[in-house]
Structure 1
Amino acid sequence: MRKVFISVALAVLVSGCSEFPGVYKIDIPQGNVVTQEMIDQLRPGMTESQVRYIMGTPLITDTFSPNRWDYLYSFKPGGEPRVQERVSLYFTDGKLSRLTGDFRPGS
């Protein structure tokens, strides 16, 4: 019985060491990297292949809305809160019509 108690106590103590000083936490990037420079190159009327050349393949292509491409980027620096950016591109008749999300097109 004493061994079980010691094992449980040790497991509780070790599980509480997630904030142990000196432990390195890695940065975790996920998704498509989207920059303001990429958004500034987009123009209404661009074809899907032109947009794909600038932006890359979208992370999400919605089967219910094939005319919408979603680009998501999530970055979690070690030990800090996660940062997420999102851009949605909309096409009409195979041409870029508008975009929404965390970036705004430049002049």
Structure 2
Amino acid sequence: MNKPLMCLGMVLLAAGCTPKTVEQLPYYKLPVVQGMPLDAEAVAAVRPGMTREQVQLYIGTPLLRPLFRNDRWDYVYERTRGGKVKETRTLTVYFQGNMVSRVEDGTPKPANEGVQQP
């Protein structure tokens, strides 16, 4: 058999077996975690008056520390899946000297939190 004719037949056969568009193919997108997950109990244990070392023992060191802002540690955690953000949590610990002066939890609260169910 002629080689070019055989190659053409194989190309046509392969073209007939492939889907028309790539969007039709099933795929799986892995969840992407950025930052450090924060344990709610550990975050609640951080209080004004604690030292930096005590904060590190409870929730660890932040992934990024600003060079020119030594009085603030920011903890950011984000989980995405399929390109959409599923969970975001932020925590900011402010220091005065070596002691915690205040803690801000910027985590969005659920809509029904604080409403008592009958």
TM-score past 0.5 threshold: yes
2:105 to 101, 104, 107: 101
Identity percentage over the alignment? Answer: 33
| Equivalent AA in structure 1 for residue 48 of structure 2 | P
Structure 2: how far apart are the matches of 1:50 and 1:72?
19
Alignment match of 1:25 (pick from 29, 51, 58): 29
TM-score where L is the length of structure 2 = 0.65
Deviations 1:20-60 (A, max 9, x none): 45201101111111132111111210000000011111122
Please report how far the alpha carbon of residue 90 of structure 1 lies from its aligned counterpart in structure 2 after TM superposition. 0.5
Match of 2:49 among 45, 52, 62: 45
- In structure 1, runs of 5+ residues without a counterpart are 1-15
Q: Which among 76, 81, 84 is matched to residue 81 of structure 1?
A: 84
Counterpart residue type for residue 36 of structure 2: N
RCO (CA 8 Å, sep 6+): is it higher in 1 or 2? 1
Q: For the structure 1 residues 70 and 20, does the alpha-carbon distance in structure 2 shift closer, same or farther, using more than 3 Å as the test?
A: farther
| Contact 2:39/2:59, CA 8 A, preserved across alignment | no
TM-score, length of structure 1 as denominator length: 0.71
Equivalent position to 1:54, from 54, 58, 62? 58
What is the CA RMSD across the aligned residues, in angstroms? 2.3
The runs of at least 4 aligned residues of structure 1 exceeding 3 Å deviation read none
1:69 is aligned with what amino acid? W
Runs (5+) with no aligned partner, structure 2: 1-20, 108-118
Deviates more, 1:45-54 or 1:60-69: 60-69
- Cα offset, 1:80, TM superposition: 5.4
